[in-house]
Every structure is written in structure tokens, then in C-alpha cells.
Amino acid sequence: MLGPNTLDLGEERLSLRVEEEHYIPYQMVLNYLKEEKEVSEVKVKIRELLQKIVKCDHEKAISLFNELKKFNLREQTVAQIVSICPTSVGELLPLMSFEQKVPNEEVLKEIVEVVKKYITS
């Protein structure tokens, strides 16, 4: 029987202890997985997937995360924006689903321009 602090991943079980909850972008997850000493098939597959979809490295993601804070968005919104790195207002708009009030178009354009500065070609 699994306890409340155990994550069942099929053949693999991870013991968890949540000290604090934060929303983090994919780049931070990828960095964590790269530094992990314990390697498993699940971790390798997640790392491979994230390497294909991230658009900026870990350091740039942290900088972008901090710069986006000036827009007074929820942490989960900022984490989604950094993870996805939208390059148009159309791509950004669905990521605003956690916000009680969606910023106006000028602010959305400004957010997109900030994101574009951090994308690795």
C-alpha cells in the first residue's frame, strides 16, 4: 500500500516530502533532472522530451521569470509563459487562464517582446 507521500510511477516509486509548493518552468525541471544522481527510464524520457521543447536555457529562464514578475501575474502564469515562450499575443493569450483579469493588448505585446529577448535560436 502506498503512503500519502509516495508517488507511484509504475515500476518505480518515489518518496516525496513537500516543504513548499511553487510553480516552476520546464527549464528548471530539466536542470533538476540533469543534476539528479539517480537515473531512471522515466527521468531520462522526461529529460529528452523537455530538451526538445524548451526555447531558452536554465539561466535565461530564471532571468525571464524574474523580469516577468513586474507584470504582477500569478506564479503559475509566469511559469507557463517561461515554459512555452510564446512569440505572439495569440500564443500568449491561452496562458492567461489563471489570471482574474487579462492584461490589455499593449501589456500582452510587451510581455511577448520581453520573452523574445530570452529565446535561444
What is the tens place of the pLDDT at every residue in 12-29?
A: 666 667 778 889 999 999
Q: In the prediction, which pLDDT does 20 show?
A: 84
User: What residues contact residue 7 under an 8 Å CB cut-off, 6+ apart?
Assistant: 13, 14, 15, 16
Return the ∠ at Cα 83 (arms to 113 and 91), rounded to 5°: 55
Burial classification of residue 91, based on how many CB atoms lie within 10 Å of its CB (0-12 exposed, 13-18 middle, 19 or more buried):
middle
Q: In the prediction, which pLDDT does 121 show?
A: 65
Can you give the pTM of this predicted structure? 0.80
